[in-house]
Chains A and B, each alone.
Chain A
Amino acid sequence: MTGALVAYRWELRKLAAQKRTYIGLGAAAVLPVVFVTVMALQKGGPYDAPLGHNLRRTGLALALVVLNFVSRFGAQLAAALVAGDIVASEHAGKTLKMILTRSLRRGQILTGKTLASFTYVVATILVLGAAGLIAGSLAWGFNPLTNLSGVRVSALHALWLSVAALGIFSLPLIAVAAFAILLSTWTRNSAASIVGTLVYALGQEAIAGLVHQSWAQHYLLSDQFDGWHGLFMSPIAWTPIVRAIWVSALFAAVPLALAWAIFQQRDVADD
């Protein structure tokens, strides 16, 4: 096993042992249940949201509609809670000097932390998807879904599309986590990293609002959270999907490169 994989494995174990890890995962599991409960208690619903017209007709729509809601703030908060803490907590707990004097390279340790953060992001989205599917199917059944082009899609096909949608949605969220890792490495302060990441995510939303109708909007990270909508068009709209992939990759690569450079060079003193 390579050094990075050793670090990754232990980062996952450390995450599993910390309460804060379960805040995001718990919220992801509970949110669809709350959503379906609120809808059960009232007649209306967010029918104008993408795929919202499928609510009460098929449980397959629930997780996807919830994705639309969490894409503005909640998902970024969950990502920031863990990724913003993953390096800073080592400084705060003064454990960084302990692990840096062993036999792994700094780059391997940061790689392990990065992979663990990304794993957490994907796990959170998967938990949301699974909870949405279970809660939605129990409430409204496992029925065919009408896509954004108005075409009816079989339940099984819609399920696979939903899994792919969760994957594409994870990409910009991973980019947000990468920015949180940069702040965590740079500031060495968990709270500053988490707040800074949220400001970053909200800032992208604000800029997207300012450049509304402009081509530039498509190249902001905030727009990539809607990339998965392309899966639910007939035929599939690959342009927003491909753009979500490379724009997210770019938004992840730059902060990670900066974090790498800082982590490699930084003096580890108790300051």
Chain B
Amino acid sequence: MPGDRPVEARGLVKRYGAITAVDHVDLTVEPGDVYGFLGPNGAGKTTTLRILLGLIRPNGGEARLFGRDPQHELPEALAGVAGFVETPYFYPYLSGRKNLELLAAFDRNGGGARIDELLVLVDLAARADDRVTGYSQGMRQRLGVASSLVRDPRLLLLDEPTNGLDPGGMRDMRRLVGRLSSEGITVLLSSHLLAEVEELCNRVAIIRTGRIVYEGTISDLRASAGTNRYRLRTTDGELARVTLLGQTGARDVTLDGEELTFSADEDEVASISRILVGAGLGITALVPEQLSLESFFFELTESEEPAEAAA
């Protein structure tokens, strides 16, 4: 097993009595990935993350974080790794700042010097000296991110980081994850929200009742879902249809009222739009058919027999 991948798990199994919470899960997260771990509640995402963080012992399989086994090499295996499972919890009788100081002391890497900077980053500077018991859910989530960043991580494991947040809080959290990713931090993000994973992640694993039913890139997922189908509105539907039929990249072109639908590879959509504009058409809407991706996700995670979609 190569030693430098942020996450590599093979055949992870975790049973609780007769229930198999994680059933031969394989995961590979490459450096720089924002990797979505997608599945409905209770599918086994959190249990998998707990195994990766060394909080629980698997019944089978093995995991490596940057080549180290969190089951047998703690705390060394968590060097450069940070994150939280489920909602981050803190000591309610201590302030947000004291909680971070405690965790920085437990990290033993001098991260305490960055606390003020991190409190500003997560927009908690004004409430840093208040006890956590008075914090809202969103503030606790942001403090959770700050507590992870205190470790100056190369890999962030985030379990449902937008859970319980209002729309504004979700937006801010997603921006923060995007910003951290752009700074070079690899992110493994679990979520039950397809749109969130689609927005943030370049690769995804979909888990259902403990088993991985899809692993691959978001583009491949779209292709598997048939979401290479697009809806188009222009200033002239008929002219657009004729123009599209003349293009080798567009297939299955249909016109329904003012709206066209067609299939095309994602790489070709940009050139198609330029050709449409070149033909004198104004494009008012050009969007992938999201419904089919959602339908595909539900098929993977809810149907009796999930679709064969592993990339």
Contacts and interface: CB of A to CB of B under 8 A. Distances in A.
Interface of A: 3, 6-7, 9-10, 13-14, 17-18, 93-95, 97-106, 265, 267-270
Contact of B53 (A13, A14, A101): A101
B56 interface: yes
Contacts of B93: 14, 17-18
Interface of B is mostly: loop
Q: In this complex, which of B54, B56, B93, B102 has the most chain A Cβ atoms within 10 angstroms of its Cβ?
A: B102
Given A3-B108, A6-B108, A10-B102, A270 B94 contact: no
A17 B84 contact: no
B298 interface: no
Contact of A98 (B78, B89, B92, B108): B89
Nearest to B147: A98
Given A98-B90, A269-B50, A7 B56 contact: no
A98 B53 CA distance: 10
Interface string B91-125: 11110001000110111110000000000000000
B54 A101 contact: yes
Contacts, number: 86
17 contacts: A3-B108, A10-B105, A14-B102, A93-B92, A95-B89, A97-B55, A98-B147, A102-B107, A103-B75, A103-B79, A103-B107, A103-B108, A105-B74, A268-B55, A268-B56, A269-B55, A269-B56
A101 B55 contact: yes
Interface centre among B108, B109, B151 (most CB of A within 10 A): B108
A106 B86 CA distance: 21
Nearest to B76: A103
Nearest to B47: A269
Nearest 9 interchain pairs by C-beta: A102-B106, A267-B56, A94-B89, A268-B55, A103-B75, A17-B93, A101-B53, A103-B107, A103-B108
Contacts of B56: 267-269
B83 interface: yes
B108 A101 contact: no
Contact of A102 (B86, B89, B103): B103
Contacts of A7: 106
A95 B85 contact: no
